[in-house]
Amino acid sequence: MEYGNINISDIEKLIEQTVKEKIEALMKIEQDQYLEENTGIKNGYYKRNLKTKYGEIKDLSVPRNRDIKFHSAIIESNKSVSLDELITSMYSNGISTRRISNILRDIFNNKYSPSSVSRITDLALEEVNKFVNRKLDNRYMAVMLDGLFFYLRRETVDKEPVIFALGIKESGEYEILGFYLTIKESHNNYKDVLEDIYIKGD
């Protein structure tokens, strides 16, 4: 499917690849922390698919250890937290670090010591800040914005819009510029997103 000259399937693949990279990075952080608390040796990766609201993430590289006792809490079944909410919260501008920390603690508290959970959270937040605050190119042929709705928890669970920003480079390559959580879609919110992109590329 194409929208103008933009191939929507290419955009979907780009989103899935970005989400895949972030999940894999978080699992590596978790494995490193596990090995600080337990004996063991890294033993490469195994592949698995993972369904999310962003699409099915195929060939996800899941780290493993030789002692086979390590199992990533991120992809294990956990009814108390949504993986989709974790991804949205970690990589959306406008999310408080406290909220991200609470979601990560929901995932890891039953598996690791409090000090380890704090360490995982600190390292994960470093990854978040790198993505959210990274410098952008100062020139794009076009910038496309679109609002996607996801169920997110505050005091209740409601659908909230996440504005997705896509840049098209002069080479024709696509780049995800950011995800922006907003209370509602509005002219001012879209204006704020464009201003943030402008500042990062200035």
Domain ranges within the chain, ordered by starting residue:
10-132, 135-200
Q: What's the burial of 159, exposed, middle or buried (CB within 10 Å: 0-12/13-18/19+)?
A: exposed
pLDDT in tens, 127-147: 888 888 889 998 899 998 888
Contacts of 76 (CB under 8 A, 6+ apart): none
Task: Provide mean pLDDT across the span 113-130.
Answer: 86
> Taking 80 as the threshold, does the pLDDT of residue 34 lie above it?
yes
pLDDT for the residue 127? 84
Task: Give the model's pLDDT for residue 43.
Answer: 92
Give the model's pLDDT for residue 92: 74
| CA–CA separation, 65 and 68 (whole Å) | 5
Give the predicted TM-score (pTM) of the model: 0.72
**What distances in angstroms separate CA 34 from CA 31, 41, 117, 139, 166, one per listed residue?**
5, 11, 10, 42, 36
Higher pLDDT, 75 or 166: 166
Residue pair 65/31 in contact by the 8 Å Cβ criterion: yes
Q: Is pLDDT of 121 > 70?
A: yes
